[in-house]
Amino acid sequence: MAAPHELPGPESVLGQERFADALRTAIGRRALTLDRLRVRLAERGVNISLATLSYWQQGRSRPERPKSLRALRELEAILDLPQGTLFEFLEPPRPRGRCQSRQAVSIRALYGDDSPFLAVAGAETGDPNPFVSVLDTNETCHVGACRTMRRLSTTQVLRCVADRADRFTVVHGADEGDAMPCDLHVRGGEVTELRSDPASGYTAAVITLARPLARGETAVLEHEWVLGENDGPSISHERRVRYTETYLLRVSFDPVAPPRRCYEYRRVKVDAPQLDRRRLHVNTTPEAHLYLPKCAPGIHGICWEWD
């Protein structure tokens, strides 16, 4: 039996979907008033107004500026939460002017609470890329004559959304019929850490960017996963998207082994069924593609059939 005054675990916070709900649940879990939180933050050298704390838990605003992000780190400690818990719920900063933002989803909402992705990507820090937003993602799957995917080439346009950003984490999940990566080539940065879980098919690489970015600066990062030998055949490729403004996926087949037909599809999360399945044209190259100029969070992919 739990002790009478034992705090509930952080699971109640992790089970939320929005930042405001997670923060409100975390505050309620500790039974602290907003004024007491403000005092505790001031004791740690961070002065945040009572109105700001109230707006955060109501969903009227969210931490974006460096001072607010520092306050969020201190709040996690005060509220007895694992580091990065609240950061995971943050969406990319709202664009200024006429552009309207699309909501990002949390990692757990997309992958599930027990997904091996969390361990490979670095679950202890929540979102592996809290200070970088993805503006554009352009990737090409290269399927060889043996009908297995041999390379996955990706170009992304990144924007720094914090005071400074110098690294970016990329994760590759082997789709059905695909082998694990055996090499990774990078342009625009350097691989400084590599984590792999063959049992689940996930591999994560921490890439140090060519130079640190200041808030608002952009960078182009290219990386290519080279896949090992596999019996195959490959039958699909999909990208798990928390946030990217545009997404282009091309699947390039060897001319001696074209597919019979291709389809695009989407899924809400990793264990959900395919939705909006639609036949794609395969050109004479042969190649099929999908392009999403306003890419919604979720899973987007192309699957194909062989003769």
Q: Is the pLDDT of residue 178 over 90?
A: no
Q: 168: closest CA among 153, 151, 149, 187?
A: 187
Q: Are 139 and 248 in contact (CB under 8 A)?
A: yes
Which of 233 and 69 is assigned the larger pLDDT? 233
- Please work out, in degrees rounded to the nearest 5, the angle formed at the alpha carbon of residue 281 by the alpha carbons of 275 and 284: 150
**Residue 238 clears pLDDT 80, i.e. is over it:** yes
How many whole angstroms separate alpha carbon 186 and alpha carbon 206? 11
Architecture of domain 128-305: Sandwich (2.60)
Residue 248: per-residue pLDDT: 97
pLDDT at 218 over 90: yes
Query: At residue 4, does pLDDT exceed 60?
Result: no
Task: Please determine, looking at this structure, whether the domain spanning 11-90 carries the CATH number 1.10.10.
Answer: no
With cut-offs at 50, 70 and 90, classify the pLDDT of residue 2. very low
**Could you report the per-residue pLDDT of 69-105, keeping only the tens digit for each?**
888 889 988 988 887 778 777 755 554 443 444 456 7
Give residue limits of the domains in the chain.
11-90, 128-305
Q: What is the pTM of this model?
A: 0.67
**Percent of the chain having pLDDT more than 90?**
47
pLDDT recorded at residue 34: 92
> Inter-axis angle of helices 50-58 and 34-43, to 10 degrees?
120
- Average pLDDT over every residue of 151-175: 92
